[in-house]
Amino acid sequence: MVRQVFGLTCAEARLAISLVRGLELKEIAMVHGVAEATMRSHLKSVLAKTGTHRQSQLVALVARLARLPRERE
């Protein structure tokens, strides 16, 4: 859902969701076997795509999105 709403890549969506779950960039990088600098780069892209300027704003936005009722098909 996060990918669709904001046009994120899989990696960017995983990062956003991990941040909402309370993980830090360093932890996320380690779990996915990438450099912390790569995670910072993904974070910058996610912030731009979501129109947020701070990590805390991103977390609040994604958390709100997760609470929205899903459309029924």
pLDDT tens sequence across 30-71: 999 999 999 999 999 999 999 999 999 999 999 998 775 554
Set out the domains of the chain in order of their start, with CATH numbers.
2-65 (1.10.10.10)
Pick the more confident residue, 69 or 19: 19
Pick the more confident residue, 10 or 67: 10
How far apart are alpha carbons 28 and 34 in whole angstroms?
9
- What is the model's pTM? 0.85
Which H or E element spans position 12? Answer: helix 10-20
- Looking at residue 70, its pLDDT comes to 53
Q: Which residues of 53-73 are buried (b: 16+ CB within 10 A; e: fewer)?
A: eeeeebbebbeeeeeeeeeee
Among residues 33, 30, 31, 57, which one has the least CA distance to residue 43? Answer: 57
